[in-house]
């Protein structure tokens, strides 16, 4: 594993790409914005302009010639673009076929519904949000395209630089479900898990990437707001519509120790 392509150098993708450069990999990074290409080059990431529609990819084919392709593009919240997300993933897989040796899809734990139980990689996926449904559809397309060696990382809610959780509910009152557990992961550990998959070449599995800490929403977000000097939110002390996301595969195949506690 020497050359890594990161499709989508956004909040996670750029931070991950920078870490890979530090670790000695040759990294190709994509952006849909011409203005961002110089930023990538400044970080010693080989920049590529990649634009895609549900029907086609407009990109230099060289970008997809790689040892591992990480697809780091979450679905847009706009309803039209949200619904076309699975088709975009299909177009990306077509463009990378016979070029990328490994394909890793960054997915989400939203593929699990809030069914008041603990879930892991062997649990049924029953999403109860529109974004969860399109992400699951994209996963299924990947499985059909690469039935014997697909790799999926399901991130829990991402926090870290410029994503201060203290701001999420600051100043709000009567926030529901205050006793429900949180499912989050810090950017440091998100990058750590993705890096561990590369280092160990532990491809061909689904990984739930979620902190093993699951404090209640009330405790976590109140403390986060207090720490950053924001108005503390007030929660309704109830526990309904919840899940706890655990991983069987991260400890078994990656032997990964989390660095940021919640």
The answer for residues whose C-beta is within 8 angstroms of residue 114's C-beta and 6 or more apart is 128, 241, 242, 243
**pLDDT of 40 strictly over 90:** yes
Which residues, other chains included, contact 80 with Cβ-Cβ below 8 Å and sequence gap of 6+?
none
Q: What is the pLDDT of residues 195-239, one digit of tens each?
A: 999 999 999 999 999 999 999 999 999 999 999 999 999 999 999
Q: What is the mean pLDDT of residues 12-23?
A: 98
pLDDT of res. 52: 79
117: β partners: 243
**Cα dihedral sign for 60, 61, 62, 64?**
positive
Whether 58 contacts 32, CB under 8 Å? no
Number of H helices, E strands in the chain: 8, 13
pTM value? 0.95
The residues, any chain, with a CB within 8 Å of residue 193's CB and separated by 6 or more, are 153, 207, 209, 250, 254, 256
| Nearest Cα residue to 245 out of 75, 105, 74, 121 | 121
Please state which of the ranges 78-82, 86-90, 185-189, 235-239 shows the lowest mean pLDDT. 78-82
User: How big is the CA angle at 108 (ends 105 and 109), to the nearest 5 degrees?
Assistant: 135
What pLDDT is stored for residue 58 in this prediction? 86
Mind listing the domains of the chain with CATH numbers? 3-161+184-212+242-254 (3.40.50.720)
Burial class (CB in 10 A: 0-12, 13-18, 19+), 212: middle
Residue 37: the pLDDT is 95
Residues in the chain: 262
Q: Among positive and negative, which fits the CA dihedral 76, 78, 82, 85?
A: negative
The structure tokens 């506690």 sit at: 261
Task: Look at residue 21 in the predicted model and tell me its pLDDT.
Answer: 98
Q: Which residue has the tokens 């100043």?
A: 171
CB atoms within 10 A of CB 236: 15
Q: State residue 10's pLDDT score.
A: 94
The answer to whether residues 79 and 85 touch, using CB atoms and an 8 Å cutoff, is no
């Amino acid at each position: 594993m020497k050359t890594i392509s990161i499709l989508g150098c956004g909040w996670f993708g750029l931070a991950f790409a920078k870490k890979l450069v530090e670790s000695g990999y040759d990294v190709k990074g994509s952006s849909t914005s011409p203005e961002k290409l110089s930023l990538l080059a400044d970080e010693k990431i080989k920049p590529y302009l990649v634009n895609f529609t549900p029907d086609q990819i407009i990109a230099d084919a060289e970008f997809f010639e790689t040892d591992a392709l990480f697809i780091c593009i979450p679905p847009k919240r706009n309803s039209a673009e949200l619904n076309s997300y699975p088709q975009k993933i299909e177009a990306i897989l077509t463009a990378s076929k016979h070029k990328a040796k490994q394909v890793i899809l960054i997915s989400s734990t939203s593929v699990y519904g809030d069914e008041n139980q603990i879930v892991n990689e062997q649990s049924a996926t029953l999403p109860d949000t529109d974004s969860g449904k399109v992400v699951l559809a994209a996963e299924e397309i990947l499985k059909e395209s690469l039935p014997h060696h697909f790799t999926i990382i399901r991130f829990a809610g991402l926090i870290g630089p410029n994503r201060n959780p203290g701001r999420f509910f600051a100043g709000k009152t009567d926030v529901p479900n205050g006793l429900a557990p949180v499912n989050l992961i810090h950017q440091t550990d998100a990058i750590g898990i993705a890096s561990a998959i590369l280092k160990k070449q532990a491809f061909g599995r689904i990984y739930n990437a979620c902190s093993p800490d699951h404090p209640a929403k009330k405790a976590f977000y109140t403390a986060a707001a207090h720490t950053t000097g924001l108005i503390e939110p007030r929660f309704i002390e109830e526990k309904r519509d919840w899940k706890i996301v655990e991983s069987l595969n991260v400890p078994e195949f990656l032997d990964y120790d989390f660095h940021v506690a919640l």
